[in-house]
Amino acid sequence: MCGITALLLADHNLMASPELHEGLGMLQHRGQASLLLFYFMKCDAAGIVTCGNKGRLYQIKGNGMVRDVFDQPKLEQLIGSMGVGHVRYPTAGSSSTSEAQPFYVNSPYGIVFAHNGNLVNADELRAFMDQDAHRHINTDSDSELLLNIFADNLQKTGKVRINEEDIFTAIKGIYDVCHGGYACVAMIAGFGIIGFRDPHGIRPIGFAKRQSPKGTDYMFASESVVCDGCSFSDFEDLKPGEAVIVNKNSTVTRRQLIPDASFSPCIFEYVYFSRPDSIIDGISVYKCRLAMGEALADQVLKKMGPDHDIDVIIPVPDTSRVAALQTAYKLDITYREGFIKNRYIGRTFIMPGQAMRKKTVRRKFNAMSLEFAGKNVLIVDDSIVRGTTSKEIVQMARDAGAKKVYLASCAPAIRYPNVYGIDMPSPHELVAYNKEEDDIAIALGADKVIFQNLEGLIASCEKFNPSITKWDASVFDGKYVTGKVDEAYLAHLESLRADGKKGKFEDLQSPETLGLVNFNLQLK
């Protein structure tokens, strides 16, 4: 999962880098794995590329969190009034610094590119790039593929200078051949910035504007909270199959290139990934999670009855707090904070290696005995993926003195891999794979496990935007909205991403891959 942003300032004498840096900080949750040793894992990464006078490009990128990659002296070296930023947790490809985005190709026109998502037909696209387009693809990154397909489509114009129509045609060419979930931002040197979204609208992206003394500034971002935090207003989500171009004069041109697109946004954005203060596709993530809490209360009553013995409801910080509070309110049960989180440890389900995830959970949370001792506890989590965190949390509650430990998930059981950019690919790594609820409870050491049903989850989101009638809920129902996802593809994906395949010694010993840069790019 990644976070993307792009910024164009009307005043060409100002620098875009400070606000791009600030925006990436607000998207860090989308690109955070952990600060544990790079030697053992695929690292998160961050990068910014800006464009200054005469189309000169400036770049800072590397492995680590935003605060590790950038400091004030580095930001001052990123000259220019427009730029692109990216934060990454890698789900495909490697953790090499060369795969930190944004990417760049010098021909044609000097294109900078960043993307969030995953392609499901990457292998056939690589073959096309090699055999037909004669473009060398140097890494395993889908982003490099998208960039080169975009560049190849623009190259076909044969023009010295391109216009908006040429760019729309090039993006339409991407839609024609690239299948999967992707939200993209791009910058063409000396021309402007671009944002576009896949024909199903699986991954989120929107844009907003801000008045300044010299005109109107524009920003693209994965989530509205970035634009809010940078004082932009009138945030609009891109429609599925829509592209928006902002040229250097702050002129906006937009077009939905797939007018009959089947809108199917990823429902897991609302469950887990997005910040609660974001609004995505017209839906407040906060309100959505409140509704999930109410729907979960209904499931608790259905499974345990009105004469249940729950004494207290405790959330797993942080994502489940909103839902847990509403569950407790509807059930009229005491809500308490029983787990204290170390905020400097990353998310565990996206950490490579089951052993590392287990070791990290107890470093991440501490259970307060005074909230657990002698009580029957209902622990509420947003979802249960591999079960590593859940199993350890259940045991921590027992060690803290809980009599009974019930576990409730705001999401349905996750039984299928995600192929659109979330790192939970192998079905065999999912605790709910081929298991019923009682079996899952045994595996997690809980007295009972309660899952929200898919209908309740969809209703919790759909009630705030009834125009969305179809969702990507593939991790719950195994239905992949883009097509081209068969057993052979899933087996191939599992071979690439399963725990045993990550962080191999020979990979760690391999030399650094050549970066996707050109020597004329100002490397800092």
CA distance 242 to 521: 30
Task: List, as own/partner pairs, every contact residues 272-275 make where C-beta atoms lie below 8 angstroms and the sequence separation is at least 24, other chains included.
Answer: 272/319, 272/382, 272/383, 272/411, 273/1, 273/29, 273/30, 273/422, 274/204, 274/223, 275/26, 275/29, 275/223, 275/225
State which H helix or E strand residue 197 sits in.
Answer: strand 192-197
Contacts of 374 (CB under 8 A, 6+ apart): 401, 403
Which residues, listed in sequence order, are joined to residue 7 by a DSSP beta bridge?
Answer: 83, 219
Please indicate whether residue 288 is annotated as part of the active site. no
**Where in 447-498 does DSSP place strands (E)?**
448-451
Q: Are 84 and 77 in contact (CB under 8 A)?
A: no
- Among residues 2, 178, 227, 230, the one annotated as catalytic is 2
Contacts of 486 (CB under 8 A, 6+ apart): none
DSSP secondary structure code for residue 307 in this structure: T
Instruction: Please choose, from the candidates 447, 393, 390, the residue with its C-alpha nearest in 3D space to the C-alpha of residue 413.
Output: 390
CA distance 9 to 14: 7
* Residue 217 counted as an annotated binding residue: no
Phi-psi region of 262 (alpha: psi -120 to 50; beta: other; left: phi over 0): beta
Q: Which amino acid is at 257?
A: L
Q: Are 313 and 334 in contact (CB under 8 A)?
A: yes
Q: Are 274 and 286 in contact (CB under 8 A)?
A: no
3-state secondary structure of 354: helix
* CA-based torsion, 247, 57, 108, 84: positive or negative: negative
Q: Which amino acid is at 137?
A: I
* Residue 140 counted as an annotated binding residue: no
Tokens of 492: 């191939």
Instruction: Please choose, from the candidates 40, 65, 34, 38, the residue with its C-alpha nearest in 3D space to the C-alpha of residue 353.
Output: 40
* Residue 237 counted as an annotated binding residue: no
CA distance 324 to 416: 25
Instruction: Please choose, from the candidates 114, 64, 112, 61, the residue with its C-alpha nearest in 3D space to the C-alpha of residue 89.
Output: 64
**Where in 312-410 does DSSP place strands (E)?**
312-315, 334-335, 339-341, 365-367, 376-381, 404-409
Tokens of 489: 């593809």
CA distance 512 to 518: 16
Helix axes 285-304, 321-331, angle to 10 degrees: 50
Annotated binding site for Mg(2+): 319, 381-382
- Catalytic residue positions, numbered: 2
Annotated binding site: 319, 381-382
